[in-house]
Structure 1
Amino acid sequence: MKHSREYILPIDGLSLGKHEYKFVLDRAFFAMFEYSEITNGNVEVDLLLHKQESMIELFFKINGELEVACDRCADEFFEPVAGENELILKFGEAFEEETDEILIIPTEQHQFDISHLLYEYTILLLPLRKVHPEDANGNSTCNPEVIEKLNHMNHVESADPRWEALRNLKSKN
């Protein structure tokens, strides 16, 4: 993974209280992650950082769209994503993930890179099954040529005589 200074938050020298940050996750952001299936997006992240004496609270609000491959026709389309996450950074002796929402960082840590968190939180907003949305009439907006080829391939496969012979054996028992 490549790093960008844009996603590194200062810890030392940051005054106590609330601080707001805005980030845009686009093609350049996703290019930092070598094996990402997501290569493009237009996602806005509003981050509210609340620094206290013993910890830092991070509140992420994510809204936008990611370019994904359709699970049905393999064409690219933009899938909307929206969500919120919270992370608490506590100070300790070494890095340790206490829970999904609590991370312990070394006391002498001067800055904190949130790029991986932004990536993770955004990717987790994607649905398990990514398919083109339906149009106003409830019809699929998938690539009709690909769907036709898939239907044709399924029809050709079902006409294979070897499978018919096996189905006959199954029905005789």
Structure 2
Amino acid sequence: MKPLKEFTIPFVGLKIAKHLFEYEVNQAFFKHFEYEDFNDVNIHVNVELEKKTTLLELHFEISGWVNVNCDLTNEPYNQTIENTFDLVVNFGDEYNDEHIDILIIPHGTYEISVEQYIYELIILSVPIKRIHPGVEDGSLDSEILKKLEELSPKLKEDKEKEEDIDPRWNTLKKLLTDK
């Protein structure tokens, strides 16, 4: 996969100080990674690069929304996301990204690509279980929700069945709980 040029930071010409890079991430960014779980995306990314004499410190901040389908109703909705991530870039003999928050790049490297870190930060910011806000507050009117409610077991019927049980079974249940 060819890296996206706008997410490459050439740090060799920068002064030893803090530098801010801003990116707008949209659906085309995820098409580049062949990720199709999002219907639409609008995310603002701030990358603060602090250049020091022997290393680089990157601080990522994302905020925005992704349009996803609800896991219960399959209705699309905008899920707001916010997250931060810190990365230390050090120089060494060879490339090494074994650690989550430490990246070692070879001496003589003059630029760093941050697209993979932005991609992973966004993906990990989306909740595992995606529930439409209308489901939680009861305002969503959906055919699927009506069908789920229709097919769900009724609590009142269960209580009535328990009352109709022969009382001799209750004494047997006590034997199990008296241990």
Count of paired positions: 152
Q: Which residue of 1 aligns with 2:92?
A: 92
Q: Which residue of 1 aligns with 2:37?
A: 37
Q: Which residue of 2 aligns with 1:167?
A: none
Amino acid corresponding to residue 137 of structure 2 in structure 1: G
Q: Which runs of 4+ in 1 moved over 6 A?
A: none
C-alpha distance after superposition, 1:111-149 (max 9, x if no partner): 1111111010111111121110138x92152x5112234
3-state SS of 2:22 partner:
strand
Give, in angstroms, the shift of residue 47 of structure 1: 1.2
Write 1 or 2 for the structure with the bigger share of helix: 2
Amino acid corresponding to residue 32 of structure 1 in structure 2: H
Q: Which residue of 2 aligns with 1:124?
A: 124
Seen in structure 2, the aligned counterparts of structure 1 residues 63 and 130 have a Cα distance that, compared at 3 Å, is: same
Q: Which residue of 2 aligns with 1:23?
A: 23
**Do the aligned residues in 2 keep the contact of 1:62 with 1:122 (CA within 8 Å)?**
yes
Q: When the two structures are superposed, what TM-score results if normalisation uses the length of structure 1?
A: 0.79
Where do 5+ consecutive residues of structure 2 fail to align? 153-179
The percent of aligned pairs where both chains have the same amino acid is 30
Q: When the two structures are superposed, what TM-score results if normalisation uses the length of structure 2?
A: 0.76
* In 1: Cα distance, 2:67 partner to 2:98 partner: 33
Q: Which residue of 1 aligns with 2:113?
A: 113
Task: Mark the structure with the bigger radius of gyration.
Answer: 2
Seen in structure 2, the aligned counterparts of structure 1 residues 16 and 33 have a Cα distance that, compared at 3 Å, is: same
Seen in structure 2, the aligned counterparts of structure 1 residues 2 and 41 have a Cα distance that, compared at 3 Å, is: farther
3-state SS of 1:12 partner:
coil
Where do 5+ consecutive residues of structure 1 fail to align? 156-173
Give, in angstroms, the shift of residue 2 of structure 1: 4.6
* In 2: Cα distance, 1:62 partner to 1:83 partner: 5
